[in-house]
């Protein structure tokens, strides 16, 4: 086998591993969440907003439900990493459609903590400063019907 053929095989295997890691990261994030904290540039969102919004992560989508008729959908990609896991949100409607917001996330005791930038580089820490939004969400346990 030539060097370039070997390199292509190794690249294919590494990309397959990356795709599996991304699928695993998305699967770990799946669920329905209630907002706990939302801050942007160090300012907290209104409690009324926090109390009414539900977030569902499923199948590569991040769905914010404000009411049964008002939902905002973003496509997401995520990569789990022991040091700093990444997430990118790409809104599917509204004025942000066509943009991608780079972010980071971590899973903590039934909660997902996110920080993402609406402008600029991916955040390096979980703080809401320099046009960074910080969100803490608690997973809603499924109830039997």
- Element (DSSP H or E) covering residue 111: strand 111-117
Query: Which range among 10-19, 35-44, 56-65, 67-76 shows the weakest confidence by mean pLDDT?
Result: 10-19
Predicted confidence at residue 19, as pLDDT, reads 40
- Which pTM value belongs to this model? 0.80
Please report the domains of the chain, with CATH numbers, ordered by start residue: 3-139 (2.40.128)
C-alpha distances in angstroms, 13 versus 7, 23, 24, 27?
10, 15, 17, 21
Q: Higher confidence at residue 4 or residue 42?
A: 42
Instruction: Say what the alpha-carbon torsion angle 101, 107, 113, 119 is, to the nearest 10 degrees.
Output: -20
Predicted confidence at residue 24, as pLDDT, reads 86
Q: What percent of the chain has pLDDT over 90?
A: 55
Contact 72/85 with Cβ under 8 angstroms? Answer: no
């Amino acid at each position: 086998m030539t060097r370039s053929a070997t390199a292509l095989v190794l690249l294919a295997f590494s990309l397959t591993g990356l795709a599996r890691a991304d699928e695993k990261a998305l699967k770990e994030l799946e669920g329905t969440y209630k907002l706990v904290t939302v801050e942007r540039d160090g300012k907290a969102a209104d409690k009324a907003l926090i109390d009414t919004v539900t977030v569902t992560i499923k199948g590569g989508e991040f769905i914010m439900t404000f009411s049964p008729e008002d939902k905002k959908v973003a496509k997401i990609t995520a990569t789990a990493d022991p040091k700093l896991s990444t997430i990118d949100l790409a809104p599917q409607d509204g004025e942000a459609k066509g943009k991608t917001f780079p972010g980071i996330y971590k899973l903590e005791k039934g909660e997902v903590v996110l920080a993402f930038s609406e402008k600029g580089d991916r955040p390096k820490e979980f703080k809401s400063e320099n046009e960074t939004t910080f969100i803490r969400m608690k997973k809603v346990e499924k109830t039997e019907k």
